[in-house]
Structure 1
Amino acid sequence: MKFVLVAGLAGVIALSVAVALAYRDLPDFDAMKRSPNGQPVEIRGDDGTVLASFGPGYGEWLSYAEIPAPMKNAMIAVEDRRFWYHPGIDPIGIARSFAVNTLRGNKAQGASTITQQLARNLFLTASKDYTRKLREVVLALAIERKYAKDVILELYLNRVYFGGGAYGIDAASRKFYGHSARRLSLEEAAIIAGLVKAPSRFAPSADAEAARKRAATVIAVMVEQGGISAEEATAADPRLVQFAPQARTAGVRYFTDWVLTELENFTDEAGEPLLVETTLNAQMQRMAEAAIRAEAPGGAQGALVALARDGGVKAMVGGTDYVRSNYNRAIVARRQPGSAFKFFVYAAALESGVTLEDIYEDKPISIGGWSPKNNNGQFAGPVSVRQAFAQSVNTVAVQLAEQVGFDTVAEMARRFGITTPVSRQPAMALGASDVTLFEMTNAFATVASGGLEHTTFAITRITTGTGRVLYNRSEGETRQVVAPVVAAQMTQLMQAAVEQGTARAAQIGRPLAGKTGTTSSNKDGWFIGFSSGITTGVWMGRDDAKAVRGLAGGRAPARAFAQFMARAVGGTPPEALVTDITEEGFGPEPDAQSYGITVDEAPPMEGEEPLPDEAPRLDDDWLDKALNEPPQSQPQSQSQSQPQR
């Protein structure tokens, strides 16, 4: 006990000394007003074209008296309810945060005061280590000793970041409402106050409805904290707030936002302006945006990723309208791939020794009581592996997956870079697992490179405003995923799909290989393919996963692919696809081990379950659940409750 008391006393003394030193070194009020926020960043394409510039934007400085009371009350209510009483840190808030986070097992609730946030914004970096947090506490205590509460709040409201490059309430007010912050209404102030926790998520320019809903929460908290009366809250209606028109930001922002999140992996420079050079081709990007806009069905979203043969991202479209929604469906969204997942089924089958001309019968089959059907509800009888892939025959895909083992197919998907949970149940052969467009496109690009995976990348070089080089990309890592003979055979299959099968709408008048995918009830449409050194993936569907009438991978997605690729590779000489495996001396049986490919059984990832020795009965209800379909209220054909081609 004595030791604890001594240690505690020593800690208090050390903290007091640190606060005193920080107090001595704090700049005066005028200097803090001039202190810049944010870091200018310029992102350029592969030809030096400026894709986007980011940096601080400021409005007029408002004194404490000029700031509307609703703005001050709203910010205190949601960010620091005990602002007027604590010494810079909030012991009650810290204790509550600790209890909540311990109970939930994660960082569900923070405890930073307005003063701590001000200290962090003005003097510290955004790193989350304990050293930075300790410095933040010391600075907050020193600031509270040196400045009055109203001065601290004035500094905070004129410096905090509200999204869209706007620092301070006046910049935010002018950006979102088109007028000075002196005129902020209660509803407008509540919207701005709600932005601090997640500027990109709640920004009116990104999601006006989310901003209004967040404002309603802020108003409710203001009533609870006594900042406004219940009558004032009742009279306030965030739904009536009118937002200023926003510039129609080019779709390249999906890419540049992603690049900004990747920056911290390459440099910790937080002060100097940065120049970031990337792989994106501005001309291809415009082509990609035009293709998605032209072909995405009404009410549906679309996404596109184009990769060069070295893994560089040449174009990225994360949605049809960045201003309305900055959610990047190319990188983040997880959707069922439908028959596009057969890519992994056939790769596993070919590696196991199946040949393109082997014959399988397209016939009714049953696995544990589940009977998959084809899109047309018919059976073609004996078909070759090549024909089955080209026509996206469901029954043959399931037979192949069962033959090589569902675990083997899942492990093949893992080898190709799929990181999302992969089902080990029979319906997985038809695309019952969620994947991302980015990872699927990279998998197809690996086949285009003869089974050699190139690490995908976007940033090639980072320098400071003074020319100091912070990062310069060297040769990327590669990994042999499947033997070249398997890649060549897969290319033959995908070429057949384009020339004779479900992907004919994707043809561009030059050698092309690809695969379609359509999920249950036309909720998702995919096309992924490659030609002349470029691999492109396209996805279309609704964010709420509702059906899109007429959506199929061989229709709108394939057309968007063709529109983009015809222009993207149009100025280059056509390249033959690598499908002839005899010249390299490969035998009919691929030998993965000889290429250094690891094929040991991989353990299921989080969210996966290994296939049991005796598979359970797979009835319609089970399949509906596996494919995220609601239970059917009346009998429905099997062909309507599973991924189609």
Structure 2
Amino acid sequence: MKWLKRLLFLVFLGTSLGLAAITALYFYFAPQLPDVSTLRDVQLQTPMRVFSADGELISQFGEKRRIPLQIEEVPEQMLQAFLATEDARFYSHPGIDPIGITRAAVNLIATGEKSQGASTITQQVARNFFLTREKTYIRKIKEIFLAIKIEQELSKDEILALYLNKIPLGYRSFGVGAAAQVYYGKTVDQLTLPQIAVIAGLPKAPSALNPIRSPERAKDRRRVVLGRMLETGYIDQATFDEANQAAMTATYHGAEITLAAPYLAEMVRQQILQQFGEDAYTTGMDVYTTISAKRQNAATLALRANLKSYDQRHGFRGAVKRLWTAEQAQLSAEEIVKQLSSLPNYGELRAAAVTSIEDKQAKVIVKGGSFGVIAWDDMKWARRFVTDTRQGPAPKSAQEILNVGDVIWVEPLATQVNSTVEVSDVALSDDAEQQSVSNYSLSQLPDAGAALVAISPLDGAIEALVGGFSFNQSKFNRVTQASRQVGSNIKPFLYSAAFEQGMTLASLENDAPINRWDKAMGVAWRPKNSPPVYDGPIRLRVALAQSKNVVSVRLMRDLGVDTIIDHLAKFGFPKNELPRNESLSLGSASLTPMQVASAYGSFANGGYLVSPYFIDRIEDGEGNIIFQQVPKVACDSCFEIIDKAPNLEELLNQAGDPLKQCDISFADESDLAPRIISAENAFLVSQAMNSAVWGGGSWAHKTGWNGTGWRAARALKRRDIAGKTGTTNDAKDAWFSGFGPDLVVTSWIGFDDFNRELGEASYNANLDKNQVTGKEFGARTALPAWIDFMEVGLAGVPEQAWQAPRNVSTVRIDRSTGLLTKSSDHTTRFEFFEEGTEPTEYVKQSVNSVFDSEEELF
């Protein structure tokens, strides 16, 4: 009995001392413990996401990938997998698991090693939110006290939700939502049990047990998770056996991007970073842009197709590199795939290695391991590139183009099994003949750069933006960063200045050669038309439509350089950067495609200057709008109503507010875009640019003529479009800018290397008669992308008749002289005039000419 009493006393004493020690430790550490109540309002680090106007994901920015989930959104099997593996008694213990602690302590005493963990899910939450991962007794004691406090503050479901959203699971994924997307490209509710088990096994060692880097170790860990689910009764033996035998299917998935707009995404990132700082990467902001998926996709495809077309007609520059030569042993398929894996993708372009060549086809292994064939029709374009102005002869066989061992760029055609291609002669694995073979076309990464931007002329919202062929190739955004000479794209603004000074569409200017001595340079300046055709006195409508260079020079001389520069500055062009000489009339000014598109918007919207913008609104992690763009809008009818109103406040308070017809909500006149030219001026310039697309004259009477943008009329077959080509000296830059109903688009192409010219392409005997040949210029080189985009951008938009402003009249004029006429034959036409500028004289005699007729307007 004495022995028993002493034992009980010792137990009591030990327990008392233990409790006293724990109490002392608690009071010692209590001041150092954080306030666990903050977990109720915890802000999980969530990346910033960028969306299109219609909700497509464009990009995601932030070091940590996380998709926060409510506990109700997590599948029951996933909850069971984590509980079985990490904390089977989670719903019954008070935050710490005495059984687990005792087991770990016994193991430590017996082995001297910390081989068994005793941390509950609640303790892991405490560690992940408040502590470090260092393995010390002090940290463990703090963890225990915090876990007890957390259990007192939060419910079990709240704790479990925090855990599942916080835990690191490898590849920068945090939380099960992100892990499901990263490893399987799925949402959590789409995961299978084997996939759930893989994710549930990751918390122990996300790097070592990663299913991508270490699939075998991940498979072993999956077996452990499934085994614990079996032990705890969550699954039966049959389910265990089936899941345990399942193949490992994890592969890396980036952010689930559904719309490619990387140049715009980078613009968003820079603006948000400037506005909100580094916190923008972690606070879960959702940024909604102004672009539409339909138009953005169309812009990307149009720009890439045009660049590839330009690039290919100038010849094939050869292989990227050579993996082996004819004298060397051919690499195995596995070695080839490994070599190709380091090469990036550029849009649809994929790296491929040539494994064999026949007379009219080549066989390839494509990055990723697929097998392919390039047929003759998909490579016969590839004559040798010599210079930007010279190409080699058309090839007659595949051997003239490629060598075995070459690494080239290819594009996939329709994927299909090609029964005519034997793959057994390629150095592949034993199951090579079971692989499907896809058709590819030979391609190459374009050397030239390009840009395409589309904006709404009503408020400046960017509808589509592509700054180059591929963001992987170059981060340089040519829409906003490439300041290039604009060539004839400047001319509509000169004509606008002329109309402001009282000239009209019917005014005559002399289209004759200029020969002017430049004292400063000691040479004669002889600007020439392109082509060098001169028509003598010519109406301004025709001169702009046919892009007569000498007429632009004469207009500048008539108006003066200062007048022209002051007028150009109204459109947002930087006044101090405009050349103060006559070369400005031919487009020597350097501007960005964004500046040009914005300025052309003033012709499309009736004379207002709108500011381009690309962020519509920003929402915080809770879906609250923290920023809403309020653009200044162009609205003719709004101005007319305001001009008539004695008091704007009274007007806004009227029943049946007449401003509602504008479909625009604003508080005062300051919400309207500034008017920079009159509606009449904008209309007249637009009419001249419409003739640049549709031409004029009477084809029946052999006086018909084309404007420089005639290809747009032929392709789009719409009368409500207008535009202007642009080509610089030596064709270093090619442009087309124009508009249709509520859409302004600028297309540019050129080399980032200012020394390179776009050159010319000779006839390729392997291609059909519709191929593009000759010198490159705006209508041939930049316009095709504009057309391809507009075919989609204006699809479904009804054709709209031109609406003349109320102060514009029409009178019949003689086409040769621009004077009034009483005739009504093909030598005359109706012309638009701002009231008060109509001609007052009648022509004495109508003379047939090569000018236009009224048929394109009436």
Q: Is the contact made by 1:279 and 1:312 (CA closer than 8 Å) also made in structure 2?
A: yes
- C-alpha spacing 1:533/1:498, structure 2 compared with 1 (3 Å): same
Residues 492 and 42 (structure 1 numbering): CA distance in 2 closer, same or farther, change over 3 Å? same
Answering whether residue 577 of structure 2 is matched by residue 577 of structure 1, we say no
1:488 to 663, 667, 683: 683
**What residue is the counterpart of 1:284 in the other structure?**
295
Which sits farther off after the overlay, 538-547 or 368-377?
368-377
Query: Which residue is equivalent to 2:624?
Result: 468
Question: Within 2, Cα distance between the matches of 1:521 and 1:347?
Answer: 27
User: 1:272-299, CA deviations, whole angstroms, 9 ceiling, x for partnerless residues?
Assistant: 2211111110111110111111112213
Structure 2 counterpart of 1:561: 786
Change in 2 beyond 3 A, CA 1:54/1:484: same
Q: Which moved more, 1:471-480 or 1:521-530?
A: 471-480
Aligned equivalents of 2:56, 2:684: Cα separation in 1:
39
Equivalent residue letter for 1:587: E
Select which of 575, 588, 594 maps to 1:438: 594
- Aligned pairs for 1:307-318 (under 5 A) are 307-308=455-456, 309-318=458-467
The CA distance in 1 between the partners of 2:63 and 2:574, in whole Å, is 36
Find the residue that maps to 2:736 and give its secondary structure: strand
The reply on whether 1:384 has 2:391 as its aligned counterpart is no
The aligned runs of 1:354-365 (5 Å cut-off) are 354-365=503-514
Does structure 1 retain, via aligned residues, the 8 Å contact 2:732–2:751? yes
Secondary structure at the aligned position of 2:480 is classed as coil
Q: Which runs of 5+ in 1 are unaligned?
A: 1-23, 28-34, 59-163, 168-179, 183-243, 591-645
Alignment of 1:10-25 (within 5 A): none
1:113-512 alignment, distance < 5 Å: 251-264=260-273, 266-267=275-276, 270=280, 271-296=282-307, 297-298=310-311, 299-308=447-456, 309-367=458-516, 368=518, 369-419=524-574, 421-476=577-632, 477=671, 478-500=673-695, 501-507=707-713, 508-510=716-718, 511-512=720-721
1:341 touches 1:429 (CA, 8 Å); kept in 2?
A: yes
SS of the residue corresponding to residue 453 of structure 1 reads coil
User: Which residue number corresponds to residue 532 of structure 1?
Assistant: 741
* Aligned-partner residue type, residue 372 of structure 1: P
Q: Which residue of 1 aligns with 2:48?
A: 41
Change (3 A) 1:384 1:253: same
Q: Partners of 2:472 and 2:777 in 1: how far apart?
A: 27
The structure showing larger relative contact order (alpha-carbon pairs under 8 Å, at least 6 residues apart) is 1
Q: The residue matched to 1:572 in structure 2 has which SS? A: coil
What secondary structure is seen at the aligned counterpart in 1 of 2:609? strand
Superposition deviation, residue 583 in structure 1: 5.6
Aligned residue identity for 1:49: E
Which 10-residue stretch deviates more, 364-373 or 496-505? 364-373
Q: What's the secondary structure of 1:386's corresponding residue?
A: helix
The alpha-carbon deviation at position 401 of structure 1 amounts to 0.9
CA contact (8 A) 2:808 2:835 kept: no
Tell me, in whole angstroms, the C-alpha distance in 1 between the residues paired with 2:492 and 2:264. Answer: 27
Considering only aligned residues, what root-mean-square deviation do their CA atoms show, in Å?
3.3
C-alpha displacement of 1:449: 0.4
Q: Distance in 2 between matches of 1:463 and 1:285?
A: 22
Q: How many residues in Structure 1 have an aligned counterpart in Structure 2?
A: 384
The one-character-per-residue Cα deviations of 1:607-626 (angstroms, maximum 9, x if unpaired) are: xxxxxxxxxxxxxxxxxxxx
Is the 2:59–2:255 contact (alpha carbons within 8 Å) kept by the matching residues of 1? Answer: no
Is the CA contact 1:492–1:579 (under 8 Å) kept in the aligned structure 2? no
Name the CA distance, whole Å, in 1 between partners of 2:529 and 2:173: 54
Instruction: Give, in angstroms, the shift of residue 576 of structure 1.
Output: 2.3
1:251–1:469 distance in 2 versus 1, CA, 3 Å = closer
Counterpart CA distance in 2 for 1:293 and 1:362 is 38
Shift of 1:264: 4.5
Task: Assess, with a 3 A threshold, how the Cα gap between structure 1 residues 165 and 528 changes in structure 2: closer, same or farther.
Answer: farther
- Shift in Å, 1:245: 14
Q: CA deviation at 1:387?
A: 0.9
> How far apart are residue 56 of structure 1 and its match?
0.9
Distance 1:576 1:48, change over 3 A: same
Q: Give the alignment partner of residue 777 of structure 2, picking from 542, 547, 552.
A: 552
Q: Which amino acid aligns with 1:295?
A: N
**Match runs of 1:616-631 below 5 Å:** none
Q: Which runs of 5+ in 2 are unaligned?
A: 1-30, 35-41, 66-170, 175-205, 209-251, 312-446, 519-523, 633-670, 696-706, 760-774, 810-832, 839-858
CA contact (8 A) 1:57 1:166 kept: yes
Q: 273-282 vs 49-58, which deviates more?
A: 49-58
Shift of 1:406: 1.2
2:60–2:255 Cα contact (<8 Å) kept: no
Q: 1:589 to 1:264 in 2, by over 3 A?
A: farther
Whichever of the two has the greater Rg, that structure is: 2
**Is 1:491–1:578's contact at 8 Å kept on the other side of the alignment?**
no
| Contact 1:305–1:330 (CA under 8 A) maintained in structure 2 | yes
Q: What TM-score results when the alignment is normalised by the length of structure 1?
A: 0.55
Q: Aligned in 2, Cα 1:37/1:505: closer, same or farther, shift over 3 Å? A: farther
Q: Distance in 2 between matches of 1:370 and 1:513?
A: 32
Q: Residues 165 and 483 (structure 1 numbering): CA distance in 2 closer, same or farther, change over 3 Å?
A: farther
CA 1:45–1:293: 2 relative to 1, 3 Å: same
Residues 246, 323 of structure 1: 8 Å contact kept = no
Between the aligned partners of 1:37 and 1:394, the Cα distance in structure 2 is 62
Change (3 A) 1:25 1:330: farther
Question: Residue 436 of structure 1 aligns to which amino acid in structure 2?
Answer: T
8 A contact 1:514–1:529 mirrored in 2: yes
Q: Secondary structure at the residue paired with 1:310? A: coil
Closer, same or farther: CA 245–523 of 1 in aligned 2, 3 Å: farther
CA drift of 1:415 comes to 0.8
> What is the CA–CA distance in structure 2 between the aligned matches of 1:455 and 1:374, rounded to whole Å?
34
8 Å contact kept, 2:689–2:723: yes
- CA 1:393/1:303 → structure 2, altered by over 3 Å: closer, same or farther? same
What is the correspondence of 1:30-109 to structure 2 with a 5 Å cutoff?
Answer: 40-57=47-64
1:589 shift after superposition: 5.0
Query: Alpha carbons of 1:373 and 1:165: their partners in 2 closer, same or farther (altered >3 Å)?
Result: farther
Q: Quote the Cα distance in structure 1 between the aligned partners of 2:590 and 2:43.
A: 44
Alignment partners' CA distance in 2, 1:293 and 1:569: 19
- Structure 2 match to 1:633: none
CA 36–275 in structure 1, closer or farther in 2 if over 3 Å, else same = closer
Change (3 A) 1:407 1:426: same
**For 2:462 and 2:508, how far apart are their aligned partners in 1?**
39
Task: Give 1:325's aligned amino acid.
Answer: S
User: In the alignment, is the contact (CA less than 8 A) between 2:45 and 2:283 conserved in 1?
Assistant: no
CA contact (8 A) 1:301 1:542 kept: yes
Report what 1:110 is aligned to. Answer: none
Q: 1:361–1:396: 8 Å Cα contact kept in structure 2?
A: yes
Compute the displacement of 1:248 (Å).
Answer: 13
Shift of 1:326: 1.2
Equivalents in 2 of 1:312, 1:338: separation in Å?
26
